[in-house]
Chain A
Amino acid sequence: MKPEDMDRLIRTALREVAPDADLAQLGADADLREALGLDSLDFLRVVELLSQRTGHRIDEEDYPRLATITSATTFLSDRAAVR
């Protein structure tokens, strides 16, 4: 998966969980939970969607790497490369 595809996949998941958030204004390095006001249930739902759609296992230890769009893209691409 190309980085721009990964970026789109992440933004799609965020839009589903926080439909009213302004994703266009969301910087690639902004803290997602703060910027979008995600609570732990919202975040869990994001993790669930990403795990489902990429087919990668995401453990709790990995959550910090999903903090921003940039770090999440890197993390998920790394996972894809390992497979």
Chain B
Amino acid sequence: MPSLGADMESGVLLEWLVHPGDRVRKGDIVAVVDTAKAAVEVECFDTGVIERLLVEPGTRVPVGTALAMIATVPDPALHQARVTGAGPAGEPAQAAGRTAVPVTSPLVRQLAAERHIDLGSVPGTGPGGRVTRADLQAAARVVPEAPPVPDGARVRASPLARRLATELGVDLGTVAGHGPGDTVDAEDVRRAAAERLDRRSTAGLPSTADRASAMRTQIASLMARSKREIPHYYLTETVDLAAAMTWLRARNRELPVPGRLVPAALLLKAAALAIRAVPDLNGFVVDGQFTRAEAVHLGVAISLRGGGLVAPAIHDADRLALTELMAKLKDLVLRTRAGRLRRAELSDPTITVSNLGEQGVESILGVIYPPQVALVGFGTVSDRPWAIDGLLGVRPLVTVSLAADHRVTDGASGARYLLAIRQLLQRPEEL
């Protein structure tokens, strides 16, 4: 069970997306885990063949528990069992279940490979506990049908089925094939996509009320830890958005609705870019030690309709064009509310932005998400009086705030960060 956030202690395995015998690659999505915040897709960290699933769907297990056995297969004769799962810090706990490779004769190894028998699972009666040919024959009788690994263990699917599977987000490894030679064909993929929809709507997911209360508990524990451990300091700055809003309106006028930007996209981009001025606001404190993050993964606090809050990440937000950032934002909000986030999005924001201004509040003094070291808040954008060149005028203003970890930065750095945001927002066309 991987750690999907600093505050996560356990998770419920909702669904396996792979079966024993399936070949998996590093980065493949293999399971769905419920973390009380959301159903999260879990990626595999190793490449090999799934030998055994250790945890039944619907079971709650602590972080670090082995979920499945993966056999790595550089040499099929040396099936090497590994345990998938991850330690609390998100580090793969790959050493945990590794079995020693038994010393055997080449003949025995070849026979084992031919019969798809994992030598590590065969008790040896030979000298020094070696597996002998007789042991192997005994094992073969016990498990006559070890799941045959098909040639290359690649899913056999038609090109059209592969294309459709990508488009419909169907994992081909979970689809039974009814095409020629039992390959997966387009019809199989369409059926699987339809069945998945059915399952989603009727699956025994934790009830909304359960999830809401679990989430409440988690937020409570995380925020209490933040306030207990992190010496926060707060800065606010009011920024004139006249240039930004004018530019945005002119741009949106040219575009159909789906292409339009919301002001939040500008604010997020500015918050991400300003990190370059003060990189020490971007990173983690682990065991009292600060590590600066290389990339800017901007956590975006998204409120859920049923109550509660999730802050998944927009990766490399400082490098995205505004339109890309807007598209990612839309997608992230949609998937967050549908409860379908990816593991990396939940576990690795490097700084978080709260945009409570959407709800009409003037400013936010936020609580930092540990182990991050800063939280940026944007209040509502509203027309207010503002002095310009010695005269009073009415301008669209936003109050930007920063809550930062005093163990890592001081007020002066924080001030530079807010200044950078202000300057960036005066030149919206360069964002």
Contact = CB atoms under 8 A, between A and B. Distances in A.
Contacts of A59: 253
Interface residues of A, number: 19
B260 A40 contact: no
B354 to A, nearest CB: 12
B264 A58 contact: no
Given A48-B257, A59-B253, A20 B358 contact: no
Tell which of B257, B260, B263, B305 has the most Cβ of chain A within 10 Å: B257
A19 B339 CA distance: 14
B329 interface: yes
The B contact surface, by secondary structure, is helix
A45 B355 CA distance: 18
A48 B260 CA distance: 10
B252 A60 contact: yes
Contact of A21 (B260, B264, B305, B359): B305
A19 B304 CA distance: 12
B333 A41 contact: yes
B262 interface: yes
Nearest to B356: A39
Contacts of B333: 39, 41
A60 B305 contact: no
B330 interface: yes
Nearest to A59: B253
A44 B262 contact: yes
B252 A20 contact: no
B425 to A, nearest CB: 16
A40 B358 contact: yes
Interface of B: 249, 252-253, 256-258, 260, 262-264, 303, 305-306, 329-330, 333, 355, 358-360
Which 4 pairs show the lowest CB-CB distances between chains A and B?
Answer: A40-B262, A39-B358, A48-B257, A20-B305
8 contacts: A19-B305, A20-B306, A39-B358, A40-B263, A40-B264, A44-B257, A48-B258, A60-B252
